[in-house]
Copies of this chain bind each other. A is one copy, B any other.
Amino acid sequence: MAEGFFTVEHTALENFARQLLEGAGVARQRAALVASNLIFGNLRGVDSHGMQLLPYYVEQLSSGLIDGAQDGAVLREGGATMLYNASNGLGAVTSAICCDHAIRLANEHGVAFVVARDANHFGAAAYWGRRISAEGLIGFAFCNASPIVPPFQAKEPRLGTNPICMSVPGAPETSWLLDMATTTVAANRIFKAYHNKQAEIPPGWAMDKEGRPTTSTNEAFHGLIMPLGGYKGTGLAVMVEILCAILGGGAMSTEVGGLRVKDRPMGVSHSFLAIDPARFVGAAEFAGRMDKLTDYLHSAAPGSGFDEVLIAGEPEARFEKQRRESGVPLGPGEWQRLIDWAAKFGVAPPAYT
Protein backbone atom coordinates (compact mmCIF):
# COMPACT_ATOMS: atom_id res chain seq x y z
CA MET A 1 0.00 0.00 0.00
CA ALA A 2 1.04 3.57 -0.61
CA GLU A 3 3.09 5.40 2.06
CA GLY A 4 1.03 6.91 4.85
CA PHE A 5 -2.06 4.79 4.26
CA PHE A 6 -3.82 2.85 7.00
CA THR A 7 -4.95 -0.51 5.69
CA VAL A 8 -7.78 -2.23 7.53
CA GLU A 9 -9.29 -5.67 7.03
CA HIS A 10 -12.70 -5.07 5.50
CA THR A 11 -14.93 -6.79 8.07
CA ALA A 12 -13.10 -4.99 10.87
CA LEU A 13 -13.62 -1.72 9.02
CA GLU A 14 -17.30 -2.49 8.55
CA ASN A 15 -17.69 -3.18 12.29
CA PHE A 16 -15.88 0.06 13.03
CA ALA A 17 -18.23 1.98 10.72
CA ARG A 18 -21.25 0.40 12.40
CA GLN A 19 -19.94 1.28 15.85
CA LEU A 20 -19.32 4.90 14.87
CA LEU A 21 -22.86 5.17 13.55
CA GLU A 22 -24.20 3.61 16.73
CA GLY A 23 -22.10 6.19 18.57
CA ALA A 24 -24.00 8.85 16.64
CA GLY A 25 -27.23 7.37 17.94
CA VAL A 26 -28.22 5.10 15.05
CA ALA A 27 -29.87 1.80 16.01
CA ARG A 28 -27.75 -1.28 15.40
CA GLN A 29 -29.57 -2.73 12.39
CA ARG A 30 -29.71 0.60 10.56
CA ALA A 31 -26.08 1.29 11.41
CA ALA A 32 -25.08 -2.13 10.03
CA LEU A 33 -26.84 -1.41 6.75
CA VAL A 34 -25.16 1.97 6.29
CA ALA A 35 -21.80 0.39 7.17
CA SER A 36 -22.31 -2.35 4.58
CA ASN A 37 -23.18 0.29 1.96
CA LEU A 38 -20.02 2.29 2.72
CA ILE A 39 -17.65 -0.70 2.76
CA PHE A 40 -19.11 -1.79 -0.59
CA GLY A 41 -17.78 1.47 -2.04
CA ASN A 42 -14.33 1.00 -0.56
CA LEU A 43 -14.08 -2.66 -1.59
CA ARG A 44 -14.83 -1.74 -5.19
CA GLY A 45 -12.22 1.02 -5.23
CA VAL A 46 -14.83 3.80 -5.23
CA ASP A 47 -13.34 5.46 -2.16
CA SER A 48 -15.30 8.67 -2.69
CA HIS A 49 -18.42 6.65 -1.83
CA GLY A 50 -16.90 4.68 1.02
CA MET A 51 -15.72 5.54 4.52
CA GLN A 52 -14.95 9.09 3.33
CA LEU A 53 -18.68 9.76 3.63
CA LEU A 54 -19.00 8.57 7.22
CA PRO A 55 -17.76 11.72 8.99
CA TYR A 56 -20.31 13.76 7.00
CA TYR A 57 -23.09 11.36 7.95
CA VAL A 58 -22.05 11.56 11.61
CA GLU A 59 -21.92 15.36 11.52
CA GLN A 60 -25.34 15.56 9.90
CA LEU A 61 -26.78 13.05 12.34
CA SER A 62 -25.33 15.01 15.25
CA SER A 63 -26.70 18.32 14.04
CA GLY A 64 -30.12 16.83 13.26
CA LEU A 65 -29.82 17.33 9.49
CA ILE A 66 -30.28 13.56 9.08
CA ASP A 67 -32.90 11.79 11.20
CA GLY A 68 -31.19 8.49 12.03
CA ALA A 69 -34.35 7.04 13.58
CA GLN A 70 -36.50 7.42 10.45
CA ASP A 71 -37.59 4.65 8.09
CA GLY A 72 -39.81 6.95 6.04
CA ALA A 73 -43.30 6.02 4.86
CA VAL A 74 -45.22 5.09 1.73
CA LEU A 75 -46.98 8.15 0.30
CA ARG A 76 -48.84 6.23 -2.40
CA GLU A 77 -48.73 2.85 -4.05
CA GLY A 78 -50.68 1.92 -7.15
CA GLY A 79 -50.15 -0.73 -9.83
CA ALA A 80 -46.43 -1.23 -10.27
CA THR A 81 -45.45 2.16 -8.84
CA MET A 82 -44.73 3.70 -5.48
CA LEU A 83 -43.98 7.18 -4.16
CA TYR A 84 -42.08 7.10 -0.90
CA ASN A 85 -41.37 9.80 1.65
CA ALA A 86 -37.86 9.12 2.93
CA SER A 87 -38.56 11.66 5.70
CA ASN A 88 -34.90 12.63 5.89
CA GLY A 89 -33.85 9.19 7.12
CA LEU A 90 -30.44 7.71 6.41
CA GLY A 91 -30.07 7.20 2.64
CA ALA A 92 -29.16 3.53 2.94
CA VAL A 93 -32.06 2.82 5.30
CA THR A 94 -34.77 4.25 3.07
CA SER A 95 -33.14 2.97 -0.13
CA ALA A 96 -33.15 -0.60 1.18
CA ILE A 97 -36.87 -0.30 1.90
CA CYS A 98 -37.57 1.23 -1.51
CA CYS A 99 -35.51 -1.42 -3.34
CA ASP A 100 -37.44 -4.13 -1.55
CA HIS A 101 -40.71 -2.54 -2.62
CA ALA A 102 -39.40 -2.37 -6.21
CA ILE A 103 -38.49 -6.06 -6.03
CA ARG A 104 -41.90 -7.01 -4.68
CA LEU A 105 -43.74 -4.93 -7.29
CA ALA A 106 -41.59 -6.18 -10.18
CA ASN A 107 -42.13 -9.78 -9.13
CA GLU A 108 -45.85 -9.09 -9.28
CA HIS A 109 -46.03 -6.90 -12.41
CA GLY A 110 -42.82 -7.66 -14.34
CA VAL A 111 -41.60 -4.08 -13.99
CA ALA A 112 -41.76 -1.57 -11.14
CA PHE A 113 -40.79 2.03 -10.53
CA VAL A 114 -40.32 3.50 -7.04
CA VAL A 115 -39.41 7.11 -6.28
CA ALA A 116 -38.29 8.38 -2.87
CA ARG A 117 -38.12 12.05 -1.97
CA ASP A 118 -36.60 13.95 0.99
CA ALA A 119 -33.81 11.41 1.10
CA ASN A 120 -30.13 11.46 1.96
CA HIS A 121 -26.92 10.22 0.29
CA PHE A 122 -27.26 6.53 -0.59
CA GLY A 123 -23.57 5.80 -1.08
CA ALA A 124 -22.66 3.99 -4.28
CA ALA A 125 -25.67 3.59 -6.58
CA ALA A 126 -24.26 0.19 -7.57
CA TYR A 127 -25.13 -1.15 -4.13
CA TRP A 128 -28.82 -0.59 -4.90
CA GLY A 129 -28.71 -1.85 -8.46
CA ARG A 130 -27.04 -4.95 -7.07
CA ARG A 131 -29.62 -5.35 -4.29
CA ILE A 132 -32.32 -5.56 -6.96
CA SER A 133 -30.34 -7.75 -9.38
CA ALA A 134 -29.51 -10.17 -6.55
CA GLU A 135 -33.22 -11.07 -6.70
CA GLY A 136 -33.03 -12.02 -10.38
CA LEU A 137 -34.25 -8.66 -11.70
CA ILE A 138 -32.55 -5.96 -13.73
CA GLY A 139 -32.02 -3.15 -11.25
CA PHE A 140 -31.63 0.56 -11.96
CA ALA A 141 -30.86 3.24 -9.39
CA PHE A 142 -30.86 6.98 -9.97
CA CYS A 143 -30.24 9.92 -7.67
CA ASN A 144 -30.17 13.67 -8.06
CA ALA A 145 -27.36 15.42 -6.24
CA SER A 146 -25.91 18.70 -5.02
CA PRO A 147 -25.78 21.31 -7.82
CA ILE A 148 -22.12 21.52 -8.86
CA VAL A 149 -22.39 21.00 -12.64
CA PRO A 150 -23.40 23.72 -15.13
CA PRO A 151 -25.77 22.78 -17.93
CA PHE A 152 -24.13 22.68 -21.37
CA GLN A 153 -23.18 26.19 -22.56
CA ALA A 154 -23.54 27.66 -19.06
CA LYS A 155 -21.08 28.78 -16.41
CA GLU A 156 -23.32 28.47 -13.36
CA PRO A 157 -24.11 25.12 -11.75
CA ARG A 158 -27.66 23.83 -11.88
CA LEU A 159 -27.33 20.04 -11.75
CA GLY A 160 -25.64 17.34 -9.70
CA THR A 161 -23.41 14.55 -10.91
CA ASN A 162 -26.74 12.64 -11.08
CA PRO A 163 -25.64 9.01 -11.43
CA ILE A 164 -27.15 6.26 -13.57
CA CYS A 165 -26.76 2.69 -12.36
CA MET A 166 -27.89 -0.55 -13.98
CA SER A 167 -27.14 -4.03 -12.69
CA VAL A 168 -28.08 -7.40 -14.18
CA PRO A 169 -28.61 -10.71 -12.39
CA GLY A 170 -25.56 -12.99 -12.24
CA ALA A 171 -22.44 -13.71 -10.24
CA PRO A 172 -21.26 -10.46 -8.63
CA GLU A 173 -17.65 -11.22 -9.56
CA THR A 174 -18.27 -11.29 -13.32
CA SER A 175 -21.57 -9.55 -14.03
CA TRP A 176 -21.87 -6.38 -16.04
CA LEU A 177 -22.64 -3.50 -13.68
CA LEU A 178 -22.77 0.14 -14.75
CA ASP A 179 -22.57 2.95 -12.21
CA MET A 180 -21.64 6.28 -13.70
CA ALA A 181 -21.94 9.96 -12.92
CA THR A 182 -23.25 12.02 -15.82
CA THR A 183 -20.14 14.20 -15.79
CA THR A 184 -17.05 13.22 -17.79
CA VAL A 185 -15.19 12.46 -14.56
CA ALA A 186 -15.92 12.76 -10.86
CA ALA A 187 -14.90 16.08 -9.32
CA ASN A 188 -12.31 14.36 -7.16
CA ARG A 189 -10.27 13.29 -10.21
CA ILE A 190 -9.68 16.99 -10.83
CA PHE A 191 -8.89 17.64 -7.15
CA LYS A 192 -6.42 14.75 -7.23
CA ALA A 193 -4.63 16.10 -10.32
CA TYR A 194 -4.41 19.49 -8.60
CA HIS A 195 -3.05 18.10 -5.34
CA ASN A 196 -0.57 15.94 -7.29
CA LYS A 197 0.62 19.11 -9.08
CA GLN A 198 -0.23 17.68 -12.50
CA ALA A 199 -0.20 20.69 -14.90
CA GLU A 200 -2.65 19.30 -17.45
CA ILE A 201 -5.82 17.22 -17.44
CA PRO A 202 -7.30 15.55 -20.55
CA PRO A 203 -9.70 17.57 -22.72
CA GLY A 204 -13.37 17.14 -21.87
CA TRP A 205 -12.96 16.91 -18.10
CA ALA A 206 -13.55 20.51 -17.09
CA MET A 207 -14.18 24.13 -17.93
CA ASP A 208 -12.66 27.28 -16.49
CA LYS A 209 -14.88 29.55 -14.40
CA GLU A 210 -16.12 31.30 -17.55
CA GLY A 211 -17.37 28.00 -18.96
CA ARG A 212 -14.56 27.61 -21.50
CA PRO A 213 -13.21 24.06 -21.96
CA THR A 214 -9.76 23.82 -20.41
CA THR A 215 -6.95 21.31 -19.97
CA SER A 216 -5.23 23.44 -17.32
CA THR A 217 -5.52 21.66 -13.98
CA ASN A 218 -5.35 24.96 -12.16
CA GLU A 219 -8.17 26.51 -14.22
CA ALA A 220 -10.22 23.34 -13.83
CA PHE A 221 -9.72 23.29 -10.07
CA HIS A 222 -11.12 26.81 -9.82
CA GLY A 223 -13.63 26.18 -12.58
CA LEU A 224 -16.46 23.82 -13.44
CA ILE A 225 -16.97 20.12 -14.06
CA MET A 226 -17.92 19.22 -17.64
CA PRO A 227 -21.17 17.37 -18.36
CA LEU A 228 -20.32 14.08 -20.11
CA GLY A 229 -19.73 14.93 -23.76
CA GLY A 230 -21.41 18.36 -23.45
CA TYR A 231 -25.15 18.53 -24.16
CA LYS A 232 -25.62 14.77 -23.90
CA GLY A 233 -24.31 14.67 -20.34
CA THR A 234 -26.61 17.54 -19.45
CA GLY A 235 -29.49 15.66 -21.06
CA LEU A 236 -28.74 12.55 -19.01
CA ALA A 237 -28.42 14.58 -15.80
CA VAL A 238 -31.81 16.19 -16.48
CA MET A 239 -33.24 12.73 -17.22
CA VAL A 240 -32.15 11.67 -13.72
CA GLU A 241 -33.44 14.93 -12.20
CA ILE A 242 -36.85 14.25 -13.73
CA LEU A 243 -36.97 10.57 -12.69
CA CYS A 244 -36.05 11.53 -9.13
CA ALA A 245 -36.96 15.06 -8.04
CA ILE A 246 -39.58 16.14 -10.59
CA LEU A 247 -41.62 12.93 -10.34
CA GLY A 248 -41.07 12.60 -6.61
CA GLY A 249 -41.84 16.18 -5.60
CA GLY A 250 -38.54 16.76 -3.78
CA ALA A 251 -35.85 19.42 -4.04
CA MET A 252 -34.60 20.08 -7.58
CA SER A 253 -31.55 21.78 -9.08
CA THR A 254 -30.20 24.50 -6.77
CA GLU A 255 -32.76 23.62 -4.07
CA VAL A 256 -30.76 20.48 -3.26
CA GLY A 257 -28.50 20.62 -0.19
CA GLY A 258 -25.29 18.72 0.23
CA LEU A 259 -22.92 16.83 2.49
CA ARG A 260 -21.10 20.06 3.32
CA VAL A 261 -24.24 22.23 3.55
CA LYS A 262 -25.03 22.98 7.18
CA ASP A 263 -28.30 24.89 7.08
CA ARG A 264 -30.73 22.39 5.58
CA PRO A 265 -31.14 18.66 4.90
CA MET A 266 -29.76 17.29 1.65
CA GLY A 267 -33.24 16.60 0.30
CA VAL A 268 -32.21 14.48 -2.67
CA SER A 269 -34.57 12.05 -4.37
CA HIS A 270 -33.85 8.48 -5.45
CA SER A 271 -35.57 6.29 -7.98
CA PHE A 272 -35.43 2.57 -8.55
CA LEU A 273 -36.54 0.66 -11.62
CA ALA A 274 -36.76 -3.12 -11.64
CA ILE A 275 -37.44 -5.31 -14.70
CA ASP A 276 -37.97 -9.08 -14.61
CA PRO A 277 -36.16 -10.91 -17.45
CA ALA A 278 -38.43 -13.89 -16.83
CA ARG A 279 -41.23 -11.91 -18.52
CA PHE A 280 -39.16 -11.54 -21.67
CA VAL A 281 -36.67 -14.17 -22.94
CA GLY A 282 -36.71 -15.97 -19.59
CA ALA A 283 -34.19 -15.91 -16.77
CA ALA A 284 -31.90 -18.69 -18.02
CA GLU A 285 -31.80 -17.45 -21.59
CA PHE A 286 -31.19 -13.92 -20.36
CA ALA A 287 -28.15 -15.12 -18.40
CA GLY A 288 -26.82 -17.05 -21.41
CA ARG A 289 -27.31 -14.04 -23.67
CA MET A 290 -25.51 -11.74 -21.19
CA ASP A 291 -22.54 -14.15 -21.28
CA LYS A 292 -22.62 -14.07 -25.06
CA LEU A 293 -22.69 -10.27 -25.16
CA THR A 294 -19.80 -10.16 -22.69
CA ASP A 295 -17.86 -12.54 -24.96
CA TYR A 296 -18.53 -10.31 -27.98
CA LEU A 297 -17.21 -7.29 -26.08
CA HIS A 298 -14.16 -9.11 -24.68
CA SER A 299 -13.33 -10.45 -28.15
CA ALA A 300 -12.80 -6.99 -29.67
CA ALA A 301 -9.10 -6.40 -30.40
CA PRO A 302 -7.70 -3.87 -27.91
CA GLY A 303 -6.77 -0.46 -29.27
CA SER A 304 -3.23 0.83 -29.35
CA GLY A 305 -1.94 1.30 -25.80
CA PHE A 306 -4.38 -1.20 -24.24
CA ASP A 307 -4.01 -4.90 -23.69
CA GLU A 308 -7.58 -5.85 -22.90
CA VAL A 309 -11.18 -4.75 -23.26
CA LEU A 310 -13.18 -4.65 -20.05
CA ILE A 311 -16.92 -4.58 -19.40
CA ALA A 312 -18.60 -2.22 -16.93
CA GLY A 313 -18.00 -3.39 -13.38
CA GLU A 314 -14.92 -5.44 -14.23
CA PRO A 315 -12.35 -2.92 -12.90
CA GLU A 316 -14.36 -2.62 -9.67
CA ALA A 317 -14.65 -6.41 -9.33
CA ARG A 318 -10.85 -6.64 -9.54
CA PHE A 319 -10.50 -4.04 -6.83
CA GLU A 320 -12.95 -5.96 -4.70
CA LYS A 321 -11.10 -9.26 -5.05
CA GLN A 322 -7.84 -7.60 -4.10
CA ARG A 323 -9.21 -5.56 -1.20
CA ARG A 324 -11.13 -8.49 0.27
CA GLU A 325 -7.75 -10.21 0.47
CA SER A 326 -5.46 -7.39 1.52
CA GLY A 327 -7.69 -4.84 3.19
CA VAL A 328 -9.01 -1.35 2.52
CA PRO A 329 -6.47 1.51 2.44
CA LEU A 330 -7.54 4.78 4.05
CA GLY A 331 -5.68 8.04 3.54
CA PRO A 332 -4.14 9.78 6.57
CA GLY A 333 -6.66 12.66 6.64
CA GLU A 334 -9.57 10.27 6.29
CA TRP A 335 -8.17 7.99 9.01
CA GLN A 336 -7.69 10.93 11.39
CA ARG A 337 -11.26 12.12 10.98
CA LEU A 338 -12.56 8.62 11.76
CA ILE A 339 -10.25 8.29 14.77
CA ASP A 340 -11.41 11.64 16.13
CA TRP A 341 -15.03 10.52 16.03
CA ALA A 342 -14.05 7.15 17.54
CA ALA A 343 -12.42 8.96 20.47
CA LYS A 344 -15.50 11.08 20.96
CA PHE A 345 -17.80 8.04 20.94
CA GLY A 346 -15.45 5.80 22.94
CA VAL A 347 -15.11 3.32 20.06
CA ALA A 348 -11.85 1.36 19.72
CA PRO A 349 -10.22 1.88 16.30
CA PRO A 350 -9.61 -1.27 14.23
CA ALA A 351 -6.16 -2.79 13.73
CA TYR A 352 -4.32 -1.53 10.68
CA THR A 353 -1.13 -2.17 8.78
- The interface centre, meaning the residue of A81, A153, A233, A303 with most chain B CB atoms within 10 A of its CB, is A303
Nearest Cβ on chain B to A172's Cβ, whole angstroms? 17
From residue 273 to 304 of chain A, which have CB atoms closer than 8 A to chain B? Answer: 273, 275-277, 279-281, 285-286, 289-290, 292-293, 296-297, 299-304
List the B residue with the shortest CB-CB distance to A107: B79
Proximity string of chain A (230-242) to chain B, C-beta cutoff 8 Å, 1 when within and 0 when not: 0111111011011
Q: What chain B residues lie within 8 Å of A247 (beta carbons)?
A: 138, 275, 277, 280-281, 286
Interface 9-mer from A26-34, A64-72, A309-317, A336-344: A309-317
Asked whether B151 lies within 8 Å of A309 as measured between CB atoms, the reply is: yes
Render A105-130 as a binary contact track against B, CB cut-off 8 A, 1 for contact.
00011111101000000000000000
A25 within 8 A of B: no
How many copies of the chain does the oligomer comprise? 2
Residues of A within 8 A of B (CB): 76, 78-81, 83, 108-113, 115, 138, 150-158, 164, 166, 168, 176, 178, 180, 184, 203-204, 207, 210-212, 228-229, 231-236, 238-239, 241-243, 245-249, 252-254, 273, 275-277, 279-281, 285-286, 289-290, 292-293, 296-297, 299-306, 308-312
B212, B236, B302: the one contacting A303 at CB < 8 Å is: B212
Give 11 A-B pairs besides A79-B111, A110-B113, A156-B301 with Cβ atoms closer than 8 angstroms. Answer: A81-B275, A150-B300, A155-B303, A168-B242, A203-B203, A204-B229, A231-B312, A238-B311, A247-B280, A249-B289, A254-B296
With both chains docked as a complex, state the minimum distance between the C-beta of A184 and any C-beta of chain B, in angstroms: 5
- Which residues of B are found within 8 Å of A306, using beta-carbon distances? 153-154, 211
Whether A212 contacts B304 by the Cβ 8 Å rule is: yes
